[in-house]
Amino acid sequence: MQFHERINKIKYGLIPVLGLLFLLWYIRSAGADVVYSDYIRIIDEYLPDVSDLSRLLVPDILTRIPASFAARAFNVRTFGFSVTFDRMLTLAGMGLIALVLYFYMYRHRIGIFWQLMTGIILFSLNKWEILLNGTAWAHVVSFGLFFLNYQLIDLLWTGEADAKQELMLMLMPFLWLLFAGEYIASYACTMILICLLGILTGGANSWAGKGEKGMFVGILSMTLAALLLYMLSRHYAVWEHAGAADTGIKELVLSQPWFLPRFFIKTFAGTAAGQETLQAFFAGGRALPDTAVMAAGMIVLAAYVFAFILYFAGDMLEKTVFPLILLISGLMNHILVTAGRWIFLREDYALSSRYAGQFMIGIIGILIVFALYGRDDKRVKRRAAQRRKKRIVAAAAAVSVFIAAGNCYTTYQEIRKAPYREANYENMAAALLNHEDHTEEDLCRIMEWHKDPAVLYRAIGILEENRFNVFRVPVFEEGAEDAG
């Protein structure tokens, strides 16, 4: 039995390990170690003196992601401000998500089909932008930490959490403030709803008289306190949104009443296939018809509703709350992206690859619900009920294959684009090294910088003077120079 269990653990670990190796290959194949876009602002604001605490201890500290200060200091001193280092932190965040899912699926004996579906979603390249843009590493790590938190809540729900894990649950909302930034909002809203549900029901063990209502009250209090701290810090922040419209929400609703509903639905379409895939679906480069994009979004939204119904119809609340948390968290992310990004007045913004990491949380929740519902249930004895359940499971599998197929196609397209993305980064590196040969407008375009050009040139000066990133001189070349 021991040997059998070891083999079982290895089988459950194959997809996560292969998936992470695939992402590592993609990052190495599609990226080059060069700063651009958001890095320009970071360089201008925080470099070269990354140890200056006055830049950390500011009123809006929690919006600046405190954990990034320590990581940035290590990066600058050890690697000369390497984007590759940040991308590896992003990969570590993906690894944490994979690890949590591995333990959950092993614990609940999720079948291989659903493991594969989940792996396709988790390791899909529809999130290529957050994989390659190293500035997103803290957000991806925060998603991994959220998954860990949700797993511990699930253990508390079933009465399996020990005293150390309960203490961790009390402290986690404050620890996540170091990493999460604005994503603390969706996390907090999710935790508040689950804690309220736990207080009302006592968790899965309420039927046995072993409720954990006191713990849920404590976690709820800590979550609210952490959220209030973030809101206080956010009050002092000054936000810049390049390209944002001056239109107010009331004016938008009156002038374009269908814009927000369409934007919201399209955020779901982005989980089925990547933005660039949807916008150039056919070989000729023609965009997928808008009606088809809306239809894809409606299918995914319907899958959410379907999963919620199956979760409660299948009495899963008595056994596990983890998939319910993922469903709620996923929906929260769709709502928050709609609420925060409508200001650009572009519906295609809803499909952006940068949000794929947030949206995949709900899709994984859907797949886990389908997997748990599809398992053999000895309580279903009547033939009519068995046939009905088989039809439901078949429908769930069909929806899952539809979403997975879109992700597979997007991944295929991104693999083909990897050399071109790498060439684009190499072009950026060449432009930085020879910035005097480019016009201001041309340099801003190449570096994907859409704000004040003076900030870009200050950043280049800092890099060049301190030999950071593309200006870094290898040790053996420095020695050769000294010898000369």
- The H or E element containing residue 176 is none
The CA–CA distances, whole Å, from 207 to 68, 150, 158, 210, 283 equal 44, 22, 11, 8, 57
Separation between Cα atoms, residue 332 and residue 341, nearest integer Å: 14
DSSP string, 456-477: HHHHHHHHHHHT-GGGPPPHHH
Domain coordinates in residue numbering, the chain: 2-33+82-433
Helix (H) or strand (E) holding 191: helix 184-201
From first to last of its 484 residues, the chain has per-residue pLDDT tens of: 577 777 888 889 999 999 999 999 999 999 999 999 999 999 999 999 998 888 888 898 999 899 999 999 999 999 999 999 999 999 999 999 999 999 999 999 999 999 999 999 999 999 999 999 999 999 999 999 999 999 999 999 988 989 999 999 999 999 999 999 889 999 999 999 999 999 888 766 554 344 478 899 999 999 999 999 999 999 887 766 555 566 667 777 777 777 888 888 888 887 877 666 666 554 344 555 677 788 888 999 999 999 999 999 888 998 999 999 999 999 999 998 888 777 777 777 777 778 888 889 999 999 999 999 987 565 556 777 778 888 998 999 999 999 999 899 889 989 999 999 999 999 999 999 999 999 999 999 999 998 899 999 999 999 999 999 999 865 334 444 443 3
d(CA 268, CA 149): 25
The DSSP H or E segment spanning 243 is none
Position 458: which residue type?
Answer: R
Task: Say which DSSP state 378 is in.
Answer: T
SS3 123: coil
Closest-CA residue to 350 (of 282, 410, 261): 261
pTM for the model stands at 0.90
Please give the Cα distance from 86 to 81 (Å, whole number): 9
pLDDT at 115: 95
**Identity of the amino acid at 313:** A
Query: CA-to-CA distance for 159 and 430, rounded, in angstroms?
Result: 58
pLDDT tens per residue across span 429-470: 999 999 999 999 999 999 999 889 999 999 999 999 999 999
Q: What is the pLDDT of residue 481?
A: 45
